[in-house]
Chain A
Amino acid sequence: MKIFLALITKELIGFFRSWGLVAVVLYSFTLDIYIAGAGIEMQAKNISVGYVDETGGGMSQKILSRLHMPEFQKPVMFNSREALSRSIYNRETMVGIIFESDFEKNLQKYKRAEINLLLDSISATQSFQALQYLQNILLEYADLKYPVKLKIHKLFNPNATTSQFMAMAEMLSVITLLGVILTAAVFVREKENGTWEIMLLTPVNPKLIILAKSFSQVIIVMAGVVMATGIVLFGAFDVPINGSLFAFFLLSFFYAFTSAGIGLFVAAVSKSMLQVAQLSILIMMPLIFLSGAWTPIHAMHPLLQDLSLISPLRYYIEGSESIFFRGTSFVDLWSYFAGVILLGSVLYFYGFRKIGRLF
């Protein structure tokens, strides 16, 4: 045990001595998560609108005045359809509205009229949402007296802020990234420098060395998790915590071990840091994208759905989401814990064996 602690201390000192690495890890657990959370916005917001008004104003201006923040920017007037269309082709305007000259007349005479809409639909989802916003605005304008009332509740994330969700997803990706790369680097660096042999000459069980080395990186990652949760998730984004925080840290701990296990495997098969870099990304990318952070699993291609069952990150993300947003009780989290622990021990054990065999 004493040797174990000494080995961990050695690794931690080594980590803190490399200030560049400390800075990068600090950055990933704070600013990087903040930028992702604050920047990635998938809801259509602040949409640029241009219009050509061939009527004399009046009704058309009344409708335009209903387009406002946060959904729409202030509509910009264009003098001709060509100018409007040029702006859309240059992707400076996303929504182009054309009021034809008989618009107002139709509205007064027949109580109904049509506007022409040019929509840059390259960003399909955003364009679709923009269309929905516009339709809602026009329906409101028509002041239909519907015979039913609709009361819509959004559960778990009532204000539907993408930022909270993205910040959380980015934190989980950072944990994966650093868990894998840091662990792999610790071993490969010794391989590259040839200091492994010296370690093996010491009267310490190699298994203990491997365990202590990977454990030290788990500690670094966990410190980062605590920091990121406190400063970025709670501090900057006010992420709600409806479940038990302890459960989240416990789950993160198991997950950190899982990623360390992947790191061990990467370290065992690579000879240089270049290989570590490329292999880690090669393994991590599918892990992150099969996790359901970007697209819910049940909306994926069926083959990818099956594959996602073996991604430990999937269980981790679903578990964390349940803890933060859904407030699932500890007992009901067992499936996520089981998923992470099961895949984690398999990966860790495999990595452990693989790197142990080298000596």
Chain B
Amino acid sequence: MNSGVIAAYILKEFKELLRSRMIAIVYILPTMIIILFGYGIRMEVTHARTLIIDNDRSKISQDLTVRFQNSKYFDTKVVTGITLKEALESIKRAKTDILIIIPDRFEKELLKREKPEIAVFVDGAFPVRASTMENYVKGVIFDAASTILKEKPKNLVTINNRNLFNQPMRDEDAIVPGLIGLILLVAPAILSALLIVKEKEEGTIFNFYSSAVSRGEFILAKIVPVFILHSINIFILFLWATWLFEVPFRGSFTLYWLSSELYILTSIGIGLLVSVITRSQIVAIVLTIIITIIPGFLYSGMLMPISSMSGESKIEAHIYPVMYYNHIIYDTFLIGQGLDSPKNRLYLVILLFYALFMLLLGSRLVKKETG
């Protein structure tokens, strides 16, 4: 290897990247994703638009509706004298989330212990929201019902729960660290995916074929600028997470930084591999987007904890690098065991080998006549 040649080649690649005006996008894209997703994804349900048709208008039914009105989970409107059809139409038009119908003679039947029936309709278009809303409604109604319960319950078991790691159950804490794992997988991969296939499509790759530059030097020159540019994002994203989204950081920053650098290398390796096996830029772009975004979500543990997976998805999760990185990231942000935990040490080593393997595989596949 000739260090002078490498330096010159790296400089050339750097200049080309800067000239393509894409430097701004290298920094805009990650920031935009973290802000959009961080503010945009809301899993917890508050202010569900609730319509209560109170056909009874008795003291007990009003007690019940007041409980809904006083809860931050519901924006309640109590109406009388609209038909079921009109009310259902309002759900159909996505104007109402929950419809609760209290029957007439509700109080009378209740006092006579005839078990009156309350009908509840929930908009099921968003399944997670639907079951959360269902549970809220159950909670309010059963809670109200238990206050007028006559007999003492037997076998009542209550839960004394301690929420670990994300005590207030904030959505931001749950999502933002996972987003870093998604961004650092997608963004460097896309940038590096085009590097070689671009030269193939334009024919400039023959400059490399016919020059004395070796395969290793070529790859090094290609990845160093991307690596340096995206390394800065590790710090930018950290700032957004802790300062803008106020996610606590309980672990070691060194571990965060080190594992992120390895992860960026892995991502560049994926892009490199795509770049080597494809023949046109458009295919390389679409392929990279497809193989990074969906797995980046699926196996991040952001939506579903890895421990809840089974069968194929568990195996697939272990094949992609996201899982290993995200385990460490969530640890550094929320848990804080750091390198004391053998699992974190193991995953860090796996990341290292993953990065080396991807880069090696990519560079092995670059064709170059050696003479």
Contacts and interface: CB of A to CB of B under 8 A. Distances in A.
Interface of A: 18, 20-21, 24-25, 27-28, 32, 35-36, 39-48, 59, 63, 73, 88-94, 107, 111-129, 131-132, 134-136, 138-139, 141-158, 160-162, 165, 170, 177-178, 181-182, 185, 189, 192, 271-282, 285-286, 289-290, 294-296, 298-301, 304, 318, 321-322, 325-328, 332
Interface in B226-276: none
Nearest to A295: B42
Contacts, number: 362
| Category for how many chain B residues contact A | 35 or more
B40 A290 contact: yes
25 contacts: A35-B294, A42-B127, A116-B161, A117-B160, A119-B161, A122-B174, A122-B301, A132-B135, A136-B138, A139-B142, A141-B155, A142-B154, A144-B142, A145-B149, A150-B137, A151-B120, A153-B122, A155-B121, A274-B22, A274-B194, A274-B198, A277-B190, A278-B29, A286-B36, A295-B41
Contacts of B324: none
Contact of B289 (A138, A157, A185, A281): A281
B157 to A, nearest CB: 5
B123 A39 contact: no
B129 interface: yes
B215 to A, nearest CB: 23
Interface of B: 20-22, 25, 28-29, 32-33, 36-37, 39-47, 49, 88, 91-94, 110, 113, 115-132, 134-135, 137-138, 141-142, 145-146, 148-167, 169-171, 173-174, 190-191, 194, 198, 201-202, 278-283, 285-287, 289-290, 294, 297-298, 301-310, 313, 327, 330, 334-335, 337, 341, 343
B158 A114 contact: yes
A148 B93 contact: no
B283 A20 contact: yes
B163 A127 contact: yes
A81 to B, nearest CB: 12
Contact of B131 (A135, A160, A298, A300): A160
Given A148-B110, A151-B119, A286-B32, A177 B157 contact: no
Nearest to A33: B294
Contacts of B88: 155
A192 B20 CA distance: 13
Closest 8 CB pairs of A and B: A154-B124, A273-B281, A157-B124, A125-B43, A160-B127, A117-B161, A121-B163, A48-B307
B282 A189 contact: yes
A44 B169 CA distance: 15
A144 B155 CA distance: 9
B303 A40 contact: yes
